[in-house]
Structure 1
Amino acid sequence: MNYLSVENISKSFGERTLFKDISFGINKDQKIAFIAKNGSGKTTIMSIINGLEESDTGQVVLRKGIKMAFLSQNNNLQEELTIEESIFASDNETLKVIEAYEKALENPEDEEAYQKAFDGMDQHNAWDFETQYKQILFKLKLENFKLKVKNLSGGQKKRLSLAIILINRPDLLILDEPTNHLDLEMIEWLESYFAKENITLFMVTHDRFFLERVCNEIIELDNGKLYQYKGNYSYYLEKKEERIASENSSVDKAQNLFVKELEWMRRQPKARTTKSKSRQDDFYEIKEKAQSRRRENKVELEINMERMGSKIIELHKISKKFKDHVIMDNFSFDFQRGERIGIIGKNGTGKSTFLNLLTGTIPLDGGKVVIGETIKVGYYTQSGINPKPGQRVIDVIKEYGEFIPLMKGKLISASQLLERFLFDAKKQYDFVDRLSGGELKRLYLCTVLIQNPNFLILDEPTNDLDIVTLNVLESFLLDYPGCLLVVSHDRYFMDKIVDHLFIFRGDGVVEDFPGNYSDFRAYEDSTDVAQKEENKAEKKDWKQNNPTGNLTFNEQKEFQKTEKEIKDLEIQKVAIEQLFSDGKIAEADIEKKANELRNIINKIEEKEERWFELSAKIEG
């Protein structure tokens, strides 16, 4: 069944044509990824599909009765609503039933309203739905339902927008970079969720593991033309290579014909016959074909780095904490020549802080960092660059240097470096303030590389980069002879360029794992299976050793109410603990907040005791 058809759409901005006469369809249960270079029109096509922008030609037709949802890079949340209110602020009938039930739990004295709400949950089969939507919020680390949108970080807002879309289960999901602002655990959960659910997807993503495991079709916009591949990322790579080889073969034939036709054109008199006019028109078509050979960017820089001595960088029992939040705890490590280390861990475990400690951007609490005299560090941070007003792309690079020395006495100019990273001669003279987010990241990368570092530190270098640019970056890093330290959520990228990992577990625990990301995942999965079997056995023993029975109506009501109160108290507890961890409590309020936390913990213990009494009576 066809859900949506894109029919002959085009878009130009002044003299620049982004795409022309583009057509494709989205059918039920398809999971389509849309791939294109930054600046070639991905976001514009997404906006046209969602009615946020008009095309110059053609139309987008949505099947009648199909419900479509769009996750964009910009959130459309109401700032004054809480997380819970944002979830309920939709026309989803089941969510309305759950909202009524939640309110009835807050007023248990009104037995009639409670019974009505309870019956509504049964009629709409809302019990499972409630469990599912709370699981989605839990997996996306949005457990504090009472937090207002205006107090959320940019990443939390993006995750809330994603949660709302998943909870409402539209017929067609349009997603723009859904894995941005998710840590690895969240990405893998979302990947698994999409892979097993019967969901129709159309998305832009640079996460190639995601493409491999979720998508069953890939549409590529390349040089203004659309190509469709009925398979996942591996299939796309294979078939694209075949297509390019075929195109280049056609170009070779056209070039041979062009040489012959060029001779004929030069011999022709100015007066034209009808026959020669037709052949001349054909000549211009052949010429266009002959000059259309792809310019593939090969990044073979063979950088002539500064000589590295025996001492690289040594970490001696380094420690750092913010209030009670421990980041590093007496961590020691000696980097060796050519070391390639990836850093992974949940958000908030201190990955970026570690890089800042290493580079002296923030001070240590204890220990010391010793950097060898021959070491020249290049540090690519998440903050990016701050160009001067009116600067052009080439000027930004030239501020750092005109040339990079290569092996055998060769040099590469600033302009040539930019070309290797997909800035053609024309683009190099664009004003920086006109660049897209991905182009700014590429430019920043060039400013780091032109300084010719022999110890390269990259903090989330793949964010906002398209797949073409990622391949260019990977080609460069595979040939990079210096030390490499990388924080990234891009699993495909990490597998290609690192050979062992620092695993940030939180609370100052850092493990050194010998292998790449896939090796680590396989190890963790085998550990998880053993743990699940152990938990299963414990649960079985618990059931056998506890009496069961039926709850009365009032006990059932109390059980539901107690369960909700425990969750609310846990949220309050976590919120206060976070304030202590972040050091956001004024000195005068510390004692007051500590007493508040103590009271909450006591209440949780009381409620849990009663909850266990009631749960022991539940049958089964």
Structure 2
Amino acid sequence: MHYLSAEGLTKSFGITPLFENISFHINEGDKIALIARNGVGKTTLLRILAGKETPDAGKLWIHKDVSVALFEQNPVFEEEKTILENILHLQHPTIQLVKQYEEAVQQQNTALLTSLISKMDDAGAWDFEHKVKEIIGKLNINISDQPVNTLSGGQRKRVALAKTLVDIGFEEKHTLLMMDEPTNHLDVEMIEWLEQYLNYEKITLLLVTHDRYFLEDVCDEIWELERSEMYTYKGDYANYMEKKAMRIESELASIDKAKNLYRKELEWMRKQPRARTTKSKARQDNFYAVAEKAGQKIVDSRLELDMKMSRLGGKIIEMKKVYKSFGELTILKGFDYTFSKGERIGIVGKNGAGKSTFLNILQGLEKADSGKINVGDTVVFGNYSQQGLTFKENVRVIEYVKSFAENFPLAKGGSLSAAQFLELFLFPPEKQFTFLESLSGGEKKRLQLLTILFSNPNFLILDEPTNDLDLPTLAVLENFLSEYPGCILIVSHDRYFMDKLVDHLFVFEGNGNIRDFPGNYTQYRLWQKQEEQKQKTAAEKQPRKFAEHKPAEKKKASFKEKREFEMLENEIASLETERSLLEEQLSADGTDYELLNKASKRIGEIAQELEEKEMRWLELSEIIE
């Protein structure tokens, strides 16, 4: 089924075109990644397709049976309403029934739950309720009476993602799902679950992401916006990189030819008399086309910067028996480590495990409860935090960089001016005179990184550096960091970025335990899965005689288990009644064959459900009685 077509779409801000005369099609089942440098118009294009902005020119056609869902970087909520009210916001009877059920569970209202169970049965709402619970659970969303306007930025993104997935999960029409950086503020386990979810569900997808493993696993086509044009690549990210390299090589050869022709044509133009014949006029027009081609620049994302780094002495940082807690939450429990020159350490762990607190303690921005932290005299920290840029209004990019220093010294002598340094980080001359408030989120992040490097640190601390950065900028950053001679500490959920740069990991396992793992993130995940499999195998081989010698202490039933037990009794009774009615229907004379067939099939399903529920009822009865 054909979902969407765009012909000749053009959009500009001021005199600068974001994209010009681009055309494309989306069919059912397509999973497409849209990539481009920050500020080129990725988000604007998604908003045009969603009907939230209009193009300057061109046509857009969307099939009448297709609905478009857009997950944006800055989600919009009904701010005073609760998390659950925002997630289950659609005014459909089934959704409202599920919302009532979830609220009753939250309030532990047994009487209301009992009445809602039969309504859920009648509406066939259990499958949808199960999907809602899976999404909320996997995104680690705490359903409470908390209004959305009290949530942190990361919590808001996860709630918005849950809202979008619930909406499309219920949508009966064909849906085109468009997602703008969905992996930001998700930990790695959430990202891996979202990958599986998008692959398992029958979803047509247009995705903007900087997460290359996510892109690789989910998408089978890549669109790239570059120099106002759209380039299409079938296949995965590796294929895109190969084909793009071939395209750039071909374009460079074409530009070289154009430059040679341009010189000849320029010489001819200068010799021409003022009066033009028709023939020479055609040649003159062609000259301008050749000149435009010869003047093209192909931006190379490689960055070679021989920076003059502050010298690191023999002593870098020693941490001895460091403890840190917030109430009952333990962050560090007797942590010991001595940092060495040139170390590249990745820091991983679930959100809230204390990674950012650890970085603050290391830099002396936050005090440990006890222990010693000895920082060498020559250590100069460069801290790329999640807080972003702080700046006054009406300041231009070049002015902001010059407020740190006019020049950037190089290791082999000489220096780069602020303007030259900006160009290396993909800020061309025309962009350097833009006001900071006009920059995109990714451009501000890129500028923040640049200003940190401008101070020549020898110990870089990067806290989620890849959030909001585009793929070309990530390539620049990775190439720079791969040659960086100082120490690097990286907190990131970008698995590709981590695999490329780190030598070993600090894994925050919770309760103050930090594992020093010798390898990158992918190697750690493989090791982790192997350990889980070993534990599972060991548990299966564990002899059961153990329980005969020492009976386990009887577990006390929780309120949730008691409620489940009561509900199971009602559900079992309801299923048995339904089975009796169907059996009567089967034995009646003159019943339609199709109805008989349906009744027979349903009796088989009921038998399976009853077996599962009765087994669970027996398990719970041993705890409760």
TM-score tier by shorter-chain length is 0.7 to 0.9
Question: What's the counterpart of residue 417 of structure 2?
Answer: 413
Conservation of the 8 A alpha-carbon contact between 2:85 and 2:99: no
Question: What's the counterpart of residue 140 of structure 1?
Answer: 139
What is the SS of the residue equivalent to 2:146?
coil
Deviates more, 1:358-367 or 1:423-432: 423-432
Listed as ranges, the matches of 1:91-490 within 5 Å are: 91-92=91-92, 94-99=94-99, 113-114=115-116, 116-121=118-123, 124=124, 126-168=125-167, 169=169, 170=171, 171-490=175-494
* Deviation at residue 460 of structure 1 after TM alignment: 1.1
- Unmatched segments (≥5 aa) in structure 2: 552-561, 572-615
Question: What's the counterpart of residue 90 of structure 1?
Answer: 90
Question: What's the counterpart of residue 38 of structure 1?
Answer: 38
Deviates more, 1:372-381 or 1:163-172: 163-172
Deviates more, 1:445-454 or 1:533-542: 533-542
Aligned residue identity for 2:166:
I
Question: What's the counterpart of residue 65 of structure 2?
Answer: 65
Deviation string, structure 1 residues 218-276 (Cα, Å, up to 9, x no partner) = 11101001011111111111111111111111112212222222222222111111111
What is the SS of the residue equivalent to 1:440?
helix
Question: How many residues are aligned here?
Answer: 559
Conservation of the 8 A alpha-carbon contact between 1:313 and 1:334: yes
TM-score, normalised to structure 2, is 0.84
Question: What's the counterpart of residue 10 of structure 1?
Answer: 10
* Deviation at residue 27 of structure 1 after TM alignment: 1.0
What is the SS of the residue equivalent to 1:404?
strand
Change beyond 3 A, Cα 1:66–1:265 = same
Conservation of the 8 A alpha-carbon contact between 1:100 and 1:117: no
What is the SS of the residue equivalent to 1:303?
coil
Conservation of the 8 A alpha-carbon contact between 1:393 and 1:431: yes
Q: Pick one of 558, 563, 566 that aligns with 1:558.
A: 566
- Mapped partners of 2:92, 2:231: distance in 1: 37
Aligned residue identity for 2:161:
L
Conservation of the 8 A alpha-carbon contact between 1:104 and 1:113: no
- Mapped partners of 1:523, 1:293: distance in 2: 45
- Mapped partners of 1:459, 1:95: distance in 2: 39
Change beyond 3 A, Cα 1:515–1:101 = closer
Conservation of the 8 A alpha-carbon contact between 2:505 and 2:516: yes
Change beyond 3 A, Cα 1:541–1:136 = farther
* Deviation at residue 47 of structure 1 after TM alignment: 1.1
Change beyond 3 A, Cα 1:100–1:401 = closer
* Deviation at residue 78 of structure 1 after TM alignment: 1.9
* Deviation at residue 560 of structure 1 after TM alignment: 4.8
- Mapped partners of 2:199, 2:265: distance in 1: 54
- Mapped partners of 2:112, 2:426: distance in 1: 67
Aligned-pair identity in percent equals: 50
What is the SS of the residue equivalent to 1:426?
helix
- Mapped partners of 1:267, 1:381: distance in 2: 60
Aligned residue identity for 1:138:
G
Aligned residue identity for 1:296:
D
- Mapped partners of 2:540, 2:56: distance in 1: 59
Conservation of the 8 A alpha-carbon contact between 2:302 and 2:475: no
Q: CA RMSD in A?
A: 2.9
Change beyond 3 A, Cα 1:93–1:69 = farther
- Mapped partners of 1:431, 1:561: distance in 2: 67
Aligned residue identity for 2:22:
I
Change beyond 3 A, Cα 1:90–1:561 = farther
What is the SS of the residue equivalent to 1:252?
helix
- Mapped partners of 2:307, 2:262: distance in 1: 39
* Deviation at residue 394 of structure 1 after TM alignment: 1.6
Conservation of the 8 A alpha-carbon contact between 1:104 and 1:117: no
Conservation of the 8 A alpha-carbon contact between 1:317 and 1:330: yes
- Mapped partners of 2:500, 2:150: distance in 1: 38
Conservation of the 8 A alpha-carbon contact between 1:314 and 1:370: yes
- Mapped partners of 1:129, 1:479: distance in 2: 51
Question: What's the counterpart of residue 79 of structure 1?
Answer: 79
Change beyond 3 A, Cα 1:178–1:114 = closer
What is the SS of the residue equivalent to 2:262?
helix
* Deviation at residue 359 of structure 1 after TM alignment: 0.6
- Mapped partners of 2:477, 2:14: distance in 1: 32
- Mapped partners of 1:176, 1:431: distance in 2: 24
Aligned residue identity for 1:159:
R
What is the SS of the residue equivalent to 2:412?
helix
Deviation string, structure 1 residues 58-112 (Cα, Å, up to 9, x no partner) = 2322211222211112222223333333333214554344346567887766899
Question: What's the counterpart of residue 503 of structure 2?
Answer: 499
Conservation of the 8 A alpha-carbon contact between 1:97 and 1:120: no
Change beyond 3 A, Cα 1:263–1:340 = same
- Mapped partners of 2:290, 2:4: distance in 1: 37
Question: What's the counterpart of residue 604 of structure 1?
Answer: none
What is the SS of the residue equivalent to 2:308?
coil
- Mapped partners of 1:179, 1:111: distance in 2: 35
- Mapped partners of 1:112, 1:509: distance in 2: 43
- Unmatched segments (≥5 aa) in structure 1: 546-553, 564-610
* Deviation at residue 463 of structure 1 after TM alignment: 1.1
- Mapped partners of 1:65, 1:540: distance in 2: 57
Aligned residue identity for 1:155:
G
Conservation of the 8 A alpha-carbon contact between 2:565 and 2:617: no
Change beyond 3 A, Cα 1:107–1:3 = same
Aligned residue identity for 1:527:
E
* Deviation at residue 557 of structure 1 after TM alignment: 7.5
* Deviation at residue 336 of structure 1 after TM alignment: 0.5
Question: What's the counterpart of residue 604 of structure 2?
Answer: none
